[in-house]
Amino acid sequence: MTIIPLQEGIFTVTPTKDFTRITREELKTVDKALLTMAICPFLIVLPDDIILLDAGLGFKEDGKPVIVKLIEDAGYNANQITKVLLSHLHKDHAEGLGYTDNGTFIQNFPDAEIYLQQNELHYALDQIASHSFNQEILEEIASLPNLILMNDDTGSIGKYITYEVTGGHTPFHQAFWFKEDNVTAFYGADNLPQKSYLKFHIAYKSDYDGKKAMEDRQKWEQQAKDENWIVLFYHDISKNVMEF
């Protein structure tokens, strides 16, 4: 198994979920009223699949989607992605699936199967007033021919991947495990987005069910230590992959 962080950058986030990229140096002077976070999807290379784990924010540079450029910088191309696994549908995890050009939605990963919890999609489409979701993109995602809607709370995807609907950050948020030989990589997505979340046992108000997310973090930390997991942090500014 090969794990490649696709670091899109560091961003400030307003209460209305407007994302602005900043440099690491600008972190020192950023407005303290703003959230700051990294955005880092992951490329997981398995014996039978090349996985994109969450899709990023969907920004472009010089007319090209940033997520596509990062994949190319890692030595692959977007058409090699066989599966995209989505933890949930907040805009910073889903908008990198594609973009609209003259009224037509252009997929960034047209040859990949896109795995998504069906209940998460239904929930997200109902959140018309929420700044966390991009309804235009969600409607396009819902109609994709390569979308695979998941209905089970736990299960497997192929030989090396398992998943669990955890709730917490969103009602139907899900986590993923990748196991090959004696190596286990774990992705708790936004229930465990940063390493610092392990230091403080806090139920965050930004989560749909903060208590559930907190309980999951405590459980996963102990399992990671007992079983020597590799843990992936989507929003950590300093360390996106950590071995326990």
Structural domains in the chain, CATH included, are 2-243 (3.60.15.10)
Give the containing element (helix H, strand E) for 236: none
pLDDT, residue 44, reads 98
Return all residues near 192 (Cβ < 8 A) that are at least 6 apart: 198, 216, 217, 220, 231, 233
pLDDT, residue 144, reads 96
Rounded to whole angstroms, how far apart are CA atoms 84 and 73?
Answer: 18
Rounded to whole angstroms, how far apart are CA atoms 191 and 194?
Answer: 9
pTM as predicted: 0.95
Structure confidence by residue, pLDDT tens digits, 88-131: 999 999 999 999 888 899 999 999 999 999 999 999 999 999 99
pLDDT, residue 74, reads 96
Closest CA to 190 of 43, 108, 86: 86
Extract the residue ranges of the chain whose pLDDT is less than 70. Answer: none
CA dihedral 131, 136, 142, 146 (to 10 degrees): -120
Q: What is the mean pLDDT of the chain?
A: 95
